[in-house]
Structure 1
Amino acid sequence: MQVKDNTFLITGAASGLGAATAERIVAAGGKVVLCDLNESVDAHAQVLGEAARACRSDITSDSDMQKAVETAVALGGERGLSGVVHCAGVVSVAKLVDRKGNPADLDAYAKTIQINLVGTFNVMRLAAAAMAKNSPGEDGERGVIINTASIAAFDGQVGQCAYSASKAGVVGMSLPAARELSRHGVRVMAIAPGVFETPMMSEIPDEAAQALAAAVPFPKRLGRPDEFARLAEQIITNPMLNGEVIRLDGGIRMQ
């Protein structure tokens, strides 16, 4: 599959990894539908021009995401929807038992799972159903799904039970989904980023962010969103990448 002249659905596209991926796809001649709850997604689509459409969407909503998929299919014309890069998600930090001896909030845990894991499944199922209707290309390929996991799925830190569990679920879905969708010619991959320069990272203190950057073996800095986008582009164009999770982390292993 090539990026040029194909249409991709990007979630979490108002900023960070999703925004960078949308920019890279448009620069390579592709078209994008940008999904995000943040109203700034409209402005980002305008900056990208005629190749982009904005769709204010909640990834956990059946109707919202069905509308987004239909928008992408329409934008793609005869080619339909060629791929999804799912970047939307939330970070949550909460200890099972806090300093006062209180247990973690169950609703907060469930919300993280609902957005990061159930939301991923929702996007996958609707996009896969649309791509299965595409005419097969070379090797019978009809589409590609790229989900965003996290190194926290493997190296979860204290306070990351909810976040790590949600991202481990994304990892766990990759292979069975790839096996199932192989009969439709749809590949499934996941990227597990390390510490990146995103709005999520801005939520932690500068001192903590600097410590994380210093812990990266090489390059000794936070990852840049375009580096995620470059990997997403490689996955799109390389048909042998399927059913796998790729760590993109500079070699860091969280403690």
Structure 2
Amino acid sequence: MLALASMKGGVGKTSTSVNLAALAAGTGLRTLLWDLDPQAGATWRVGVDPEPVNAARTVVRGRRDVARLARHTRVPGLAVLPADDTLRSIDIAMSEKRHPARVLSKTIDRLADAYDLVIVDTPPGLTVVMENLIELADLLLVPVEPTPLALRTLGQLQHFVGERSTNVPVAAFFSLLDERKVAQRHLHAEYRATDPVFLTTSIPHSTAIERMGAERLPTVVTSPSALASRRYRALWGEVAERLDLV
């Protein structure tokens, strides 16, 4: 399980989860994109209309038929477990459970019978769902804008993970990089060279990525030769290596 996480929204988390899921499916892996963000951005970007499926109940109850709730997407080989607005109350429902991590674990075990890789698009922030997911994920992938505030939130997330004594590895990458801005270039070069948590690949600020909301398909599908798509393929290569999928 690969979990995309961020302390703040608007950093390219959902766009990355969708594009990496499409690339994984393209290699022949049975891939599920699990949308846990109540905004349902990942669901929308793979061509599936959000509908009232009570996604929160699916998580909290650990349904045995959870894999049957997955929907085919417009991306060949890729399924999505869609989000809906019931996920707004997921933290309350999870906090009422005596062993919330155990419930999530059951759900993931059932998904593992049907899929080789589950990519989770989580809601931003340090939520109850995130607290329990980090105990189960094989890799936590964090998009970071090349700004001092975003780097500070990365440190907060690392501290949050460390406090829970979990062994989940954390990998970060720079997202929304605008190389025309000198300050961003300097931060990008400094941290990528000195901080081992950062992967080599960075994702640029790109109109091709912004079009995903209108085209409802991953950038790697609609604009395979774009710089952003080439970077996503490089990022997938690094992630697949970390997950021992190559």
TM-score (norm 1): 0.46
RCO comparison, higher one (Cα < 8 Å, 6+)? 2
- Report the structure number with the largest CA radius of gyration: 1
